[in-house]
Structures are given as structure tokens and as C-alpha cells.
Amino acid sequence: MELSRPGPDAVGTGRSRSVMADPGSTGRFGRFGGRYVPESLVPACEQLESGFRAAWADPAFRAGLARTLALHAGRPTPVTPALRLSAELGLTLLLKREDLTHTGSHKINNVLGQAMLAKRMGKTRLLAETGAGQHGVASATAAALLGLECVVYMGERDMRRQELNVFRMELLGATVVAVRNGSRTLKDACTEALRGWVTQVDEAHYCVGSVMGPHPYPWMVREFQRVVGEEARQQCAALLPQGRPDVVVACVGGGSNAAGTFAGFVDTDARLVGVEAAGGAAVSRGAPGVLHGYRSQVLQDEHGQILEAHSISAGLDYPGIGPEHAHLADIGRAEYPSVTDAEVVEAVLRLARTEGIVPALESAHALAWVLRAAGTPQLPTGCSVLVTLSGRGDKDGAQLVALRRDGARSGALRRDAAGTPR
């Protein structure tokens, strides 16, 4: 298969000019985005923006990144027709297989981009925040590959929940810093990483894990994830008679795999659906706010204190959402429904038993929405759907075992449920 190459610049193509384009020097997506950081971080953000602009306009940088993504991360990933599940649901379901990348999720696309950029900018250390540990493991992997130091900030509570990933990061040579503030989870790890960055801006690059943070991060991370959408677009063109899917679906925590996927289809008439966790639904249950350097929809109380998100998937346990998603929701270009933990567990099972693929709990959110909507006016019989399977479910084994032991809230994990469409 030919390696997909991004176009020269998405900004230049007429229809995408205003939507999912370069947000310019202010980093605004409509009323969201921006750069809400202390003055001490402003020069670092400016330096990063100009460094990224130069690199992204440099064919040598992009060729180097494409080569690394191909040789190290295993790109391009296939689009797999989910034949049995399609037949059961009465539609054409295609899966963009980010679960097949090195380290097991789309996170690697972004970290390799940022690590190569950091190296080009003369930085010697990567800082990263992590919740479930996926972004931390990916960052540690990229740092090892490029000979950079790596420091990962992780909530103490998450460290206990994700012991294996802590071990993996340390195995890869990273230092894991336990964050003992606040809720001791992802949001506190982000805050602590920003605090850490202030003290070492000269030598360290903060490798943000999603389309969040101060400008240029939401834009830059989307561009590094764009490869997902652009590959999928070419692959869909070859697989589908009408050349593109009717609906494009991805899960959303911060929203990087969705942003990368949507970027490949935003200038088509495909419907874009980002699926949030019911306990972390920033678009439907949040309010405009400022968190971690950007303005977006944020889960918060009436006084402006940030609320903890709650989800079965640690990767979606984040109270904000990327500012560009908030904007896409504002203008009606994308929609952001949410699904419950029970629906998610059922989706994991359904895909495992119809297609032999165990998706990550995060990715299963996108599938869960498809299962719910199939055959309704939301997703009529006969339509074509592309779901980005952002990661593989191996990491969730212990959690699924525990759910089954506890009788599983939905009952979906009982052995007698095998293979039965619910």
C-alpha cells in the first residue's frame, strides 16, 4: 500500500479554509481556544508556534515524520470492513485501525511529531501528562527512539489504577512523577505538567497529549493526527461505491483522534460525530470556561470550580474538550452525543465476538453510539459509517475482569451473553 502523504497545506483548499484550518496567531476557533498561560510561558508558546510553522512548511521534516510513522509506528493502518457486525446492523461499517499502531493507539502519531519537533528545536527533554498511561507510554517510546529524556506527570490515583503502564514507562527509561494534588488524576497531572514546564522551558518541551492546551497545541496536535483522517479518506474512496462514508464517528476525551479523523472529512458532506463519555460530556453538560491554557466547554460547578469527569475509560476522564471541537459543535459541523459505561462494555463485547477485535474502552464509545443509532433515523439502514478505532483493548483487561467479577453493571460481561446481540 502506498504511504499516504498529507497535501501541501490544508489551508489552501477552498472549502476547508474556515473550518479546521490554521487558526492564525491568536489560536482561536470561533469563541474558543486562545493562549491563557502565565507570562512566563508565553515565550515558550510563541517559540513552539514558530518552530512548528517552520517544520510543518519544511518538506524534509514532513518526509522524516512520514518515514518514522511508517517504519517505527507501522503506518499506514488499514481500514477494515466489519463484515459480520455490518450484516447484523444493516449498514456498512468500516474501522480505521489505529489499534494496530506501535504502542497500540493513535497517540503515537502525535508524540512522534512533537518529539521530532522538540529535537529540531534543540530541546533535550519531553514532559508529558498522562491519565490511563497511554500518552505517557507513547511519549516515553518517542523519547527513547529519539534519545530524549522523558518525565511523565501522572495522578497518584491513576498510578495505582494503571500499574502496568507505570512499569512500561519506567522500562522505556522515563521518570514518572506522582501528582498528589486535587483529585490526583489527569486534570491534576496536566496542571502539574504546566507548573513543571515553567521551571524548565529552555531545555524541555511539553508534549501535550491531545488537542488541548494553549495555542499552538490544539492546532498542532490536530495536524499531527490529520494522517488518520487523510489515510482513511483515501481508503474509503477505494472501498465505498460512493467514495466516502455517510457518517464519520470517533470518541472524544480531549478529542485528538476525532480531530485527526474529522480533518480528513470536514470538507466533504459526511456527518461528523464525536462521542463523549456520559460522565465527561463537556459539550452537552459543560459551560464555557478556561482550563489548562485554553477556552472551551468545561465541566464546572456554578462557582467556576472544575469538576472531575467520571468514566469507565481513564482516557476520557477529562473535564474539558479540545477548543476546535467546541467550535465545531457551535457551528453545527459536528455533533457530540454521549454514551454510558454500560453501552461501552457492551460495544467491547460485540466487536470482540463479531470481528475478533478487542477495542480500547475509549474507542468503544464510538462503536457504542453506532450500536445505539443503527436502524434509527440517526443512522438509517443501508448507510456507510467509518469508526476510528483509536486503540486496542489489551490495557483494559484487568478492568474488564473486575467488572465481570462484580457482576457487571449491564450484565454484558456474563458468560451467557456470548454472541447475543443485545
CB-based burial, 237-268: b 16+ in 10 Å, e otherwise: eebbeeebbbbbbbbbbbbbbbbbbbbbbbbb
- Nearest-angstrom CA–CA distance, 79 and 137: 25
Q: Quick check: 303 binds other proteins (CB under 8 A)? A: yes
Cell 477494515 belongs to which residue? 80
Q: Choose which of 8, 13, 40, 87 interacts with other proteins (CB under 8 A).
A: 40
Q: Choose among 2, 15, 16, 38: nearest CA to 222.
A: 16
Query: Residue 292 has what DSSP assignment?
Result: T
Does 37 participate in binding other proteins (rule CB under 8 A)?
yes
Instruction: Find all residues with CB under 8 Å of 342, minimum gap 6, and list them.
Output: 409, 410, 412
Q: Find the binding residues for other proteins in span 96-125 (CB under 8 A).
A: none
Among 43, 122, 243, 407, binds other proteins (CB under 8 A): 43
Query: Applying CB under 8 A, which of residues 254, 280, 293, 359 lies at the interface with other proteins?
Result: 293
C-beta of 23 vs 104, nearer to other proteins: 23
Under DSSP, is residue 29 helix (H, G, I), strand (E, B) or coil? Answer: strand
Shorter beta-carbon distance to other proteins: residue 205 or 372: 205
Q: Of 201, 342, 352, 383, which lies in the binding site for other proteins, with binding defined by CB under 8 A?
A: 201
Q: How far is the CB of 202 from other proteins (least distance, A)?
A: 9
Choices 28-36, 240-248, 390-398, 413-421 (CB under 8 A): range interacting with other proteins: 28-36
Q: Which of 1, 3, 42, 171 binds other proteins (CB under 8 A)?
A: 42
- Give me the catalytic one of 338, 390, 395, 410: 390
80/100 Cα distance (integer angstroms): 11
Q: CA-CA distance, 391 to 365, in Å (whole number)?
A: 11
Check if 313 is active-site. no
Residue 40 annotated among the catalytic residues of the structure: no
- Asked whether position 34 contacts other proteins by CB under 8 A, the answer is yes
Query: Is residue 221 within 8 Å of 255, Cβ to Cβ?
Result: no
Q: Which is nearer to other proteins, 214 or 391 (CB)?
A: 214
* Minimum separation from the CB atom of position 41 to other proteins (A): 8
Residue 74 makes contact with other proteins by CB under 8 A: no
Position 50 contacts other proteins (CB under 8 A): no
Is 82 one of the binding residues for other proteins (CB under 8 A)? no
Is 355 in contact with 290 (CB distance < 8 Å)? no
| Residue 288 contacts other proteins per CB under 8 A | yes
Identify the residue whose cell numbers are 505517557: 136
In the bound state with other proteins, the residue whose beta carbon lies nearer, of 287 and 402, is: 287
Amino acid, single-letter form, for residue 109:
N
Task: Tell me whether residue 2 or residue 39 sits nearer to other proteins (CB atom).
Answer: 39
Residue with cell 495536524: 223
Whether 390 is catalytic is yes
Exactly one of 49, 86, 123, 129 is catalytic; name it: 129
| Beta-bridge partners for 81 | 94
Task: Please tell me whether residue 338 binds other proteins under the rule CB under 8 A.
Answer: no
Instruction: Name which of 69 and 189 has its Cβ closer to other proteins.
Output: 189
Q: Is the dihedral of CA 390, 394, 395, 396 positive or negative?
A: positive
β-strand partners of 338: 276
Rounded CA separation 314/312 (Å): 6
Tell me if 61 contacts other proteins by CB under 8 A: no
- Give CA separation, 53 vs 26, 30, 31, 46, in Å: 14, 21, 23, 11
Query: Residue 173 or 182: which CB sits closer to other proteins?
Result: 182
| Catalytically active residues, by annotation | 107, 129, 390
Chain residues that interact with other proteins, rule: CB under 8 A: 26, 34-40, 42-43, 181-182, 187-188, 191, 194-195, 198-199, 201, 287-293, 295, 298, 300, 302-306
